[in-house]
Structures are given as C-alpha cells and as structure tokens.
Amino acid sequence: MSTHVPSAISLKEKGSRECSIHPLFAQRRSLRAFSSKPVEPGRLRLLLEAARWAPSSMNEQPWSFLIAAQENEADFDRLLACLLEFNIRWAQNAPVLLLAVARLTFASTGELNRHALYDAGQAMANLTFQANVCGLSVCQMAGFDMEKTRRTFSIPPSHGPGSHCCSRLPRPSRRTA
C-alpha cells in the first residue's frame, strides 16, 4: 500500500535513520465488504484491551463499549436499530456491532470532562489499529440516532455516545465458490 503515501513524506534526512508511515495506518480502510465468519471472543477482548491502553486526561479512561455479536440476536438487533437506514442496510450482516460511549464528567469530581470524547476517540483509534493487527477490519459509523441510542441503552446525560462501529474479517478479495 506504500503507493498511497506521498513520497515527500518519507524521511531520509542527514544523520537520521529512515522512517515512514506505519503500514497499518496506510492500509486501514473503512471497508463495508466483509466475511460472514464470526469473530472469536478472544480477538474482541484484544481490541478492547488495546483501547484500554490509550492515554486520557487525569487517566480517567472515560470510554466504555457496548458490544453484540450476531449470535446474540436480541442485543445485536438493539444496537442495529439505533443506526440510520443507510447504515443498517450493510451493517446488519456484520458479525459484531460495537458502540463507544464516553463518560462526560470526571468520576472523581463530577465536573465536566471536556476531553472525554477526545479521549474516547483515542481509545477507538487504538481499537481500530489493534483490529488491523489481528486481521480484522473496523468501520465506524457516525450515522446513528443519538436519542434512540440513549433511550435504548439508558445512557444518562453524564455520558455521550461516540460512534457505532462494526468489526469483522475483511471479505477475501478473491471469492471462493
């Protein structure tokens, strides 16, 4: 995928070792085509563990995740129904759906944490990167009904949904019969 990286960005300065964009960034895509194979729980746990290692203001780790695999039909459908129609159309076939939620207030003081969503985004970036390491693909969706999401999962005003996403194996580029 190195052809996608502008060559001007490669670093080869006098006295420094060469360095370039990490291929896992350059190869990340928000793919909507995927294998129907389920994702093993162990892999999912690894994605969450990677998210947990993100930095956060006051080390509040304000993120949490709601997850449903397609096998858990009721939970999966509740998450799916929060998406907007154009996302439901393709996400309904994803093996796993996931919703990131940020606690918007500091647990210690109850005051507004203006970095909560920013930090939750960093956790999601870690999760996405780790997914690539594990051979999975993550596609995030901002197209969801915020109020319906709040109602469905009883998310209080102190918390804010970040993004929905689904995680799955990319569909093999050469189809098998």
Taking contact as CB under 8 A, which single stretch among the options 52-60, 74-82, 90-98, 149-157 is the one that binds a second copy?
52-60
Three-class secondary structure of residue 11 per DSSP = strand
Nearer to a second copy, 74 or 85 (CB): 85
Which of 98, 121, 137, 164 is the binder for a second copy (CB under 8 A)?
A: 121
Sheet containing strand 137-141, edge to edge, reads 63-69, 96-103, 159-168, 137-141
Q: Which of 5, 45, 54, 55 is nearest to 25 (CA)?
A: 5
Taking contact as CB under 8 A, which single stretch among the options 45-53, 77-85, 91-99, 149-157 is the one that binds a second copy?
45-53
Please give the Cα distance from 101 to 159 (Å, whole number).
7
Nearer to a second copy, 70 or 126 (CB): 126
| First-residue to last-residue Cα distance in the chain | 27
**If you ran DSSP here, which 8-state letter would residue 5 be given?**
S
* Residue 86 in contact with a second copy, rule: CB under 8 A: no
Q: Which residues bind a second copy (CB under 8 A)?
A: 5-6, 9, 11-13, 16-17, 19-22, 25-26, 28, 30, 40-43, 45-46, 49-50, 53-55, 57-58, 102, 114-115, 117-126, 128-130, 133-135, 140, 142, 146, 162-163
